[in-house]
Amino acid sequence: MDWRIRQSGPDDVARNFQIWRAAVLATHDFLAPGDFEEIAALVEHQYLPVADFWVAVDATDRPIGFMGLREGHIDSLFVDPAVHGRGVGKALVRYAVELAGSVTVDVNEQNAAGVGFYEKLGFVRRGWSAADPSGRPYPILHMALAE
């Protein structure tokens, strides 16, 4: 598979939401349906349109994954499930390391695939929170790339 990484633009918002929705449905089966829909509305209308992202795009410049990176913290990383396991997420994390050096991430503890992905890349657990940033009962692991 051939892809490259570039900065996102306004034309990527709808596709990034499709990626987010598909990835969350594939990996976040622990979310209550009402919470999923509430979070989806926030992501679609308040987060994706205003935040800056790095997007992995295929040969036709169509996003297949995206990452938010703020001061060395990956605040979002979602890859189209159709290309899971092909190195897109790993490439985005490596890009974050190139840009920031030291990298941290927060991941839902119940997202076993996400936790395993980061651990495979060398991230270690540095902390834990009983709830997500909005206070919902979804524990968060705070992880950092081992140095």
| pLDDT tens track for 47-100 | 999 999 999 999 999 999 999 999 999 999 999 999 999 999 999 999 999 999
For residue 1, is pLDDT > 70? no
Single-letter residue type at 135: G
Pairing status of strand 140-145 against strand 104-108:
antiparallel
**Tell me: domain 3-145, CATH 3.40.630.30, correct?**
yes
User: 144 forms bridges with which residues in the sheet?
Assistant: 104, 124
Provide the 8-state DSSP code for 2: -
The pLDDT of residue 2 is 84
pLDDT at 122: 96
Of 129, 61, 54, 126, which is closest to residue 93 (Cα–Cα)?
54
Residue 125 has pLDDT above 70, yes or no: yes
124 has a pLDDT exceeding 90: yes
Q: Is the pTM higher than 0.85?
A: yes
Task: Assess whether pLDDT exceeds 80 at residue 147.
Answer: no
